[in-house]
Structure 1
Amino acid sequence: MPSDPSPTPDPQRVWAYRPASPLLGNPDGPLAGLTFSVKDLFGVPGWPLAASTRAPVPEVAESVLVRRLLDLGASAVGKTHLHEVALGITGMNGFGGTEHPFMPGHAPGGSSSGAAASVALGQVNFALGTDTGGSIRVPAAWCGVVGYKPTKGHPAWSTDGVLPLSPTCDHAGPLARDVGAVVRVHEALTGTAVPARDWAGVRVGLWLPQGWVTNEVQAAVEAFASELEARGAILPSVNLPEMLDAYTPIVLSEAAQVHREALRLPEPGFLPFTLASLRQGEALSAEEVTAAHARREVYRAEVDALLETCDVLLAPAVPTPPPLLGTDEVDLPGGRVPLRRAMLRLTVPFSLLGLPSVALPTGMPFVGVQLVGPRGEDGWVLGLAQSLDALGEPLP
């Protein structure tokens, strides 16, 4: 349960737990002098873990990633709020939810809502988040910062000691104000340099699904694509299917397993939407889940084949600018769509399939794009992103 409140005002409800003094990193490490926040899913000895819910949650061991970052010199200043148990994309939770750092009354994105806000507000140099269906990339885009979701199972970005949502789709990764900060952390963790890459001759598959984004988001993505063309990239259009028919049964069934003890209680303590989603996962049959995994393999083969014809993919990270808190549906050129579907159909393919993805700001405030690379090519994607650091809209 959150306690030991922040000594400074926290109007956006960023912080779930902020101790009187940070956990200091190794002063001789390559990340010495940097501070970071920790999404309240990571196990940190001596710090509470509530996953931004009033329901009981399973215990987890110490996070391998947090310990590694401390050993490398970075100092952890506290834990950030998230969308309740990471099962959502707006930032709502049992403690009121996080508000957008610069647009009062608007959603910051989730589930790594407090993580994105903590870096957008300049409270830390980088933040640790998790991404199961877009939970790093969505809040990064809506808060105007950079978010990196590594290849699934990347040894430098361990999910050991993290309360899971879906072991099949969970990733751990950083958010920061610029790509340079993300690259610095990645280089320290891997011991491998990530040089900036030239875009000349790079084949960029542009995925901009008709009717899935607002006109202003489409304009922002097209302007970003034009900048890549000006740098010598080649941009054929590509198509991807909506993959929620595979993603949703896998994630909800696994989340219900994670929270099975709480679900046995007559009043578990989850928000109504969270509880309904977990009950939906609980009710899925083994055959339905097996079929979803089979569809995932079909999608994997399709996207792997696509990435043999393209070096990287470019896609919108969000379908709209940040909506008002409490928004359930959005009006898009293709019609009115539930907000969850509108968001996740853009980001889910790359977490469902475990592909490295970087969310980058665009010239339009609080609208982001995704760069996506082949599995295992994290350095390639980060190197391309690093050469684009100046393209984003500066934050206040």
Structure 2
Amino acid sequence: MSTPPAFPDPQRAWAYRPPQPLRGAATGPLAGLTFSVKDLFAVEGWPLRASTRAPLPLMVPSPLVLRLLDLGGTAVGKTHLHEIAMGILGANAYGGTRHPALPDHAAGGSSSGAAVSAALRQVDFALGTDTGGSIRVPAAWCGVYGYKPTKNHPAWPTTGVLPLSPTCDHAGPLAADFGTILRVQEALTGAAITPQDWSGLKVGIWQPADWLDPQAQAAVQGMARRLEEAGAALHSISLPDMLDAYSVIVGHEAAQVHADALALADPGFSPDVLTKLRAAQELTPSQVQAAYTRREEYRTQLAKLFGQVDLLLAPVVPTSPPLIGQEEVQLGRETANLRPAVLRLNVPFSMLGVPAVALPSGVDWVGVQLIAPWGQDPWLLGLVRALLGGD
């Protein structure tokens, strides 16, 4: 049994609170900051459950958590997630996580508890993961900032993190204050993030109108105006629906990660998660190989696009936070299943590994994202810093 949190937790954000936090070094660039840990990260002496009742593979302790402790951060506990990170709403075997301000609404996922702990300022920052939007979606719906680094960023290792899809998984932070994300990034990399000039930048605006409700459209349009006022030149762009490759890759890899549990008569997963994993086990080798081939084609398309524009502005979510249990959303004349409606806005940037920052848009509970080319994390973070008025 986990230790009850020291504060009320009606949102069910917290998976485990130890009797005493793991205190960071007394001195260091993160001294005085507290953080939560998504319950995919292995932390020595703490349970790892991934918000499921299924048995899990053994994991080595996360070097990222250890590094943050060495830098002075204090880890106060683990947060709930959408079960094994296989979803975007925050549902799990322990009742699911609710929105920090809208009690009947979902927080988003899979880093649901991370976003809630940041939004309620229970911690200064939260560790999350992002495979198909799992940092950016709850950040957008909970009104906080989320940073998904370039894939395989040396400062944000996924070693010691229970995988969902090694091809698509990223580790990254969420925080109510963007300055805290900058402070963490600077501490991990040892390099300052300097404000960057927006003047003359070519920004590709991805606004697939048929995939967004009026609030989500207003969020993108409002941010586009801010970028234009900052000096950027705006260009409309388009991207294909990449779920054909993503869904196969993630399902295939997740089924491999959880193969031992799936071999049991009763694996212990919730019905929805088990159905997805069983379906993935039925994929043929040719279907899997075709998905990886398609991913490379999408990567080529995105690289070509970044040859035409410097930066992308895109939606994160198609609508405001859904009700708990809601499965469909009205987008124009289309009634869409909520999961693919959210995923298709985010998977291009996680499946292909480019850095992205989710940030509030000015429309309540509907964030947007800025995306840069591979490896341009310092520049992207510096642009956001300048946009928010950082000196």
TM bucket by the smaller chain? Answer: over 0.9
Deviation at 1:5, TM superposition (A): 2.2
Instruction: Name the counterpart of 1:306.
Output: 305
Deviation at 1:265, TM superposition (A): 1.2
Q: Is the 8 A contact 1:210 1:334 kept in 2?
A: no
Describe how 1:1-396 pairs up with structure 2 within 5 A: 3-389=2-388
Contact 1:143/1:366 (8 A) holds in 2: yes
2:256 counterpart letter in structure 1: Q
Q: C-alpha deviations, 1:43-95, integer Å up to 9, x for none?
A: 10000000000111111100010000000110000000000000000000000
Tell me how large the CA RMSD over aligned residues is: 1.0
Partner Cα distance (1:20, 1:9) in 2: 16
Q: Deviations over 1:190-234 (max 9, x none)?
A: 011111112111111000012110011101210110111011100
Letter in structure 2 aligned against 1:264: A
For the residues of structure 2 that align with 1:359 and 1:368, how far apart are their CA atoms?
6
Normalising by structure 2, we get a TM-score of: 0.98
1:102 to 1:87, Cα distance in 2 relative to 1, 3 A: same
Task: Please tell me whether the aligned partners of residues 150 and 356 of structure 1 are also in contact (alpha carbons under 8 angstroms).
Answer: yes
Partner SS for 2:234? coil
2:230 and 2:387 in contact (8 A); partners too = no
3-state DSSP of counterpart to 1:235: strand
Percent identity at matched positions?
62
Q: Deviations over 1:348-395 (max 9, x none)?
A: 00001000000000111110111000000001111111123369xxxx
**Which amino acid in the other structure matches residue 292 of structure 1?**
A
Unaligned runs of 5+ in 1: 392-396
Q: Conserved in 1, the CA contact under 8 Å of 2:201 and 2:231?
A: yes
Secondary structure of 1:278's counterpart equals helix
3-state SS of paired residue (2:211): coil
Unaligned runs of 5+ in 2: none
User: 1:180, 1:389 within 8 Å by CA — same for their partners in 2?
Assistant: no
- The 8 Å contact of residues 83 and 93 in structure 2, kept in 1 or not, is answered as yes
Matched position secondary structure for 2:313: strand
One-letter amino acid matched to 2:42? G
Name the SS for the 1:227 alignment partner: helix
Q: Which amino acid aligns with 1:242?
A: D
Classify the secondary structure of the residue corresponding to 2:370. Answer: strand
2:50 touches 2:84 (CA, 8 Å); kept in 1? yes
Q: Do 2:218 and 2:363's aligned partners in 1 also have CA atoms closer than 8 Å?
A: no
Query: Partners of 1:46 and 1:94 in 2: how far apart?
Result: 22
Point out the more displaced range, 160-169 or 278-287: 278-287
Deviations 1:219-277 (A, max 9, x none): 12101101110111001000100000000000000000011111111111111110001
Contact 1:100 1:106 in 2 (8 A): yes
- For 1:217, give the aligned amino acid: A
What amino acid sits opposite 1:17 in the alignment? Y
CA contact (8 A) 2:209 2:217 kept: no
Distance 2:320 2:81 in 1: 19
For the Cα contact (< 8 Å) 2:64–2:156, is it kept in 1? Answer: yes
Which moved further from structure 2: 378-387 or 147-156?
Answer: 378-387
Secondary structure (helix, strand or coil) at the match of 1:128 reads strand
* Amino acid paired to 1:289: V
Give the aligned residue type for 1:218: Q
Question: Would you say how many aligned residue pairs link Structure 1 and Structure 2?
Answer: 390
What are the superposed Cα offsets for residues 269-321 of structure 1, whole Å, 9 maximum, x if unpaired? Answer: 11111000101111111111110000000000000010011111000111000
Partners of 1:211 and 1:333 in 2: how far apart? 6
Q: What's the offset of the Cα at 1:178?
A: 2.1
Q: Distance in 2 between matches of 1:171 and 1:295?
A: 20
Separation (CA, whole Å) in 2 of partners of 1:172 and 1:113:
14
Q: Which amino acid aligns with 1:304?
A: A
Shift of 1:334: 4.6
State the AA in 2 paired with 1:137.
Answer: R
Alpha-carbon distance in structure 2 between the residues aligned to 1:227 and 1:165: 36
